[in-house]
Amino acid sequence: MESSTSSHVSFDRGRAAALWVGLLAGPIVWAAQLETNYVLSYVACEQRHAWMLHLSTALALVLIAVAAFVAWRAAPPLGEDEHRARDVDRAAVLRARFMALGGLALCAWFALVVVATEIPALVLNPCSW
């Protein structure tokens, strides 16, 4: 027999995991891309090619886009519960929607940060870093 809390948004572990992915993927992917470019800059200098730096940026942007999509898909549908919630179910829906929108905003911000991190790789010679 199912409990009365099994259908609540707050207890859906898959949705909660997707919302956390949306929130944390942007900063984690950017930090990984920054460290990857730091390590690959030595290789790019030796080979006199910076394609691997551009590839890491493209991969980071794809991962952030996937995380944004996951956060968007995990958002509960818009309804009449836009205002202050008085019961637990509505509060869980509002919390999930806030996390989804926060994840989308963080993914957009860190996509911009990843693009800004790509600017030195585009402008400078790999050996001048």
Provide the H-helix boundaries in the chain. Answer: 13-47, 51-74, 88-123
d(CA 61, CA 120): 16
User: C-alpha angle 23/66/20, rounded to 5°?
Assistant: 20
Q: Is the CB of residue 117 less than 8 Å from the CB of residue 33?
A: yes
pLDDT of residue 7: 47
**Confidence band, pLDDT 50/70/90 cuts, at residue 61:** very high
- Read off the pLDDT of residues 69-105 as tens digits, 9 standing for 90 and up: 999 998 887 765 555 556 667 777 888 889 999 999 9
Which among 41, 37, 30 is positioned nearest to 112, based on CA atoms?
30
d(CA 120, CA 18): 33
- Read off the pLDDT of residues 21-30 as tens digits, 9 standing for 90 and up: 999 999 999 9
Section 43-57 average pLDDT: 91
pLDDT of residue 85: 54
d(CA 122, CA 129): 12
